[in-house]
């Protein structure tokens, strides 16, 4: 108890210096929490787009679809009925449906552009349209309706709105030219330029009619929980190898290249920021404690003369640094919480590289980040204190006592 009181007295004796140390610790903690919270929000948004919309939780396709060569496209397709028993063998699979896509010429009568048309089953993928952000119109409800949902940038380029007619021209699976008139039912935004500028969604049955086939490119699996997809991947591939050796499954994470790139970028960025913040905190605390040691040299000599051991001298400085770390960490956590609320209410808009629409900055307050930042800042503070504290404990007693004269 006496050492604690002494530590508090030493901290309050140099209030400005202690306040600067606390501010450095609090700033480092708050910055780490905020950066990790923003990264987590951005990745969660990309994860939702990839796993619930763009790719689904898992995809199954022919080996030649994953590694295409010069073979006819028909060899990359398969019938969805081939996976009839898969859902019963894996009860964690909630929905299983097919998708079929092709590149074709899209025309509104005055302008023709190339685009990618993806056929989805609104019945087999009931969550798909819920995950779609419609800026105009509606998503098609009838799996057989000759309606299309067009990407925002593509609709702008072609100057089409809900209710307008467009024509799609492409080759069937057998290489025969085919065309179909479609009605624009809605305009969507996936938030990614690559999708919004060239993708349209059609009912799967209509897409099969255009290509003159009953097969699909891929089977999309929706699990009861997203984590179940990656956990079940190996077992599903084992089952496919035994029953359908020409088919192979991939999880959304394998397919979502943009998500992986952004995840890696944020990992490197946050590590660099944390290293800089901790280095500044380390140097600041090191300088502060070094100055304290110089000023308290006479006091240290007196304590050593009265029988204090080197270990006790070091422990006293460490106790003071722990108190500073506790106050700094607590202040940093509170400040980060306030900043998150401020950012939420101010509604700051920004754009991400490759994104087609601005989005509001949001920051998650995560306990994992709080614990991580608190531990790093505390350890940095204690280590920075140990260096001058060990030097102080090795001071010659006689030389130290002269400082009192």
Backbone φ, ψ for residue 174 (5° rounding): -85, 0
**Has residue 145 got a pLDDT over 90?**
no
**Has residue 56 got a pLDDT over 90?**
no
The listed range with the strongest mean pLDDT (81-90, 138-147, 244-253, 343-352) is 244-253
Average pLDDT over residues 286-292: 81
Average pLDDT over residues 272-298: 84
What pLDDT does residue 319 have?
84
| β-sheet bridge partners, residue 360 | 349
Rg of the chain over CA atoms, in angstroms?
Answer: 31
**Has residue 367 got a pLDDT over 70?**
yes
**Has residue 400 got a pLDDT over 80?**
no
What pLDDT does residue 48 have?
84
DSSP structural state of residue 67? S
**Has residue 165 got a pLDDT over 80?**
yes
Alpha-carbon distance of 384 to 376, in angstroms, equals 12
Average pLDDT over residues 278-304: 79
Average pLDDT over residues 141-153: 86
Instruction: Decide: helix, strand or coil at residue 148.
Output: strand
Alpha-carbon distance of 325 to 284, in angstroms, equals 13
Q: Say how many C-beta atoms besides its own lie within 10 A of residue 252's C-beta.
A: 22
**Looking at per-residue confidence, does 186 or 299 come out higher?**
186
Average pLDDT over residues 49-75: 85
Q: How many residues does the chain have?
A: 405
Q: Which tens digits make up the pLDDT trace of 107-117? A: 988 888 989 99
Alpha-carbon distance of 59 to 248, in angstroms, equals 8
What pLDDT does residue 268 have?
92
Q: Answer yes or no: are the C-beta atoms of 151 and 199 closer than 8 Å.
A: yes
Burial of 131 (0-12, 13-18, 19+ CB in 10 A): middle
Alpha-carbon distance of 202 to 205, in angstroms, equals 8
Share of the chain above pLDDT 70, in %: 93
Backbone φ, ψ for residue 362 (5° rounding): -130, 150
Q: Answer yes or no: are the C-beta atoms of 199 and 79 closer than 8 Å.
A: no
Share of the chain above pLDDT 90, in %: 38
**Has residue 82 got a pLDDT over 80?**
yes
What pLDDT does residue 285 have?
86
**Cα-based angle 342, 37, 361 (whole degrees, multiple of 5):** 50
**Has residue 354 got a pLDDT over 70?**
no
Residue with tokens 């969805």: 80
Q: Which tens digits make up the pLDDT trace of 218-268? A: 999 999 888 888 889 999 999 888 888 889 999 999 988 888 988 999 999
Please, which residues have CB within 8 angstroms of residue 1's CB and are 6 or more apart in sequence? none
Q: Which tens digits make up the pLDDT trace of 317-331? A: 888 888 889 999 999
DSSP structural state of residue 296? T
pTM for the structure as a whole: 0.78
Q: Which of 253, 356, 277, 348 is nearest to 43 (CA)?
A: 253
Where does the pLDDT of residue 335 fall: very low under 50, low under 70, confident under 90, or very high at 90 and above? very high
Q: Quick one: tokens of 149?
A: 């949902």
Alpha-carbon distance of 366 to 33, in angstroms, equals 8
Count of alpha carbons within 13 angstroms of residue 240, beta-carbon side? 20
| Diameter of the chain measured on Cα atoms | 103
DSSP structural state of residue 404? G
Where does the pLDDT of residue 15 fall: very low under 50, low under 70, confident under 90, or very high at 90 and above? confident
Average pLDDT over residues 68-93: 85
Q: Quick one: tokens of 123?
A: 């019945």
Backbone φ, ψ for residue 291 (5° rounding): -65, -40
Of the given ranges (70-74, 307-311, 367-371), which has the lowest mean pLDDT? Answer: 307-311
What pLDDT does residue 353 have?
62
Arithmetic mean of pLDDT over the chain: 86
**Has residue 178 got a pLDDT over 60?**
yes
Helices (H), 244-309: 252-255, 257-295, 297-305
Of the given ranges (153-157, 172-176, 196-200, 314-318), which has the lowest mean pLDDT? Answer: 314-318
What pLDDT does residue 352 have?
65
What pLDDT does residue 175 have?
85
């Amino acid at each position: 108890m006496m050492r604690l009181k002494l530590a508090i007295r030493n901290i309050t004796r140099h209030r400005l210096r202690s306040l600067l140390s606390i501010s450095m610790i609090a700033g480092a903690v708050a910055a780490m929490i905020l950066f990790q919270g923003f990264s987590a929000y951005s990745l969660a948004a990309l994860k939702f787009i990839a796993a619930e919309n763009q790719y689904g939780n898992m995809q199954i396709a022919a080996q030649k679809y994953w590694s295409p060569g010069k073979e006819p496209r028909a060899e990359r397709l398969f019938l969805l009925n081939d996976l009839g028993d898969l859902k019963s063998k894996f009860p964690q699979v909630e929905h299983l449906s097919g998708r079929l896509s092709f590149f074709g010429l899209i025309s509104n009568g005055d302008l023709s552009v190339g685009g990618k048309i993806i056929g989805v089953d609104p019945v087999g993928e009931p969550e798909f349209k819920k995950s779609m952000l419609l800026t105009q119109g509606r998503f098609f409800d009838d799996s057989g309706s000759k309606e299309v949902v067009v990407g925002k940038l593509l609709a702008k380029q072609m100057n089409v709105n809900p209710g307008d007619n467009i024509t799609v021209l492409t080759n069937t699976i057998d290489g025969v030219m085919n065309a179909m008139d479609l009605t624009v039912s809605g305009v969507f935004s996936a938030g990614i330029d690559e999708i919004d500028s060239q993708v349209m969604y059609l009912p799967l049955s209509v897409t099969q009619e255009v290509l003159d086939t009953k097969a699909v490119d891929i089977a999309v699996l929706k699990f009861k929980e997203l984590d179940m997809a990656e956990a079940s991947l190996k077992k599903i591939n084992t089952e496919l190898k035994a029953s359908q050796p020409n088919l192979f499954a991939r999880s959304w994470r394998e397919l979502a290249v943009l998500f992986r790139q952004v995840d890696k970028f944020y990992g490197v960025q946050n590590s660099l920021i944390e290293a800089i913040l901790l280095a500044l905190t380390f140097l600041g605390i090191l300088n502060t404690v070094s100055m304290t040691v110089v000023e308290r040299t006479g006091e240290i000599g007196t304590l050593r003369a009265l029988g204090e051991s080197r270990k006790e001298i070091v422990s006293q400085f460490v106790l003071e640094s722990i108190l500073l770390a506790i106050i700094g960490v607590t202040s940093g956590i509170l400040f980060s919480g306030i900043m998150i609320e401020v950012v939420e209410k101010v509604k700051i808009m920004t754009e991400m590289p490759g994104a087609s629409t601005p989005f509001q900055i949001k920051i998650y307050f995560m306990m994992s980040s709080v614990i991580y930042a608190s531990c790093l800042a505390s350890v940095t503070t204690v280590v920075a204190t140990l260096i001058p504290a060990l030097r102080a404990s090795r001071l010659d007693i006689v030389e130290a006592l002269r400082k009192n004269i």
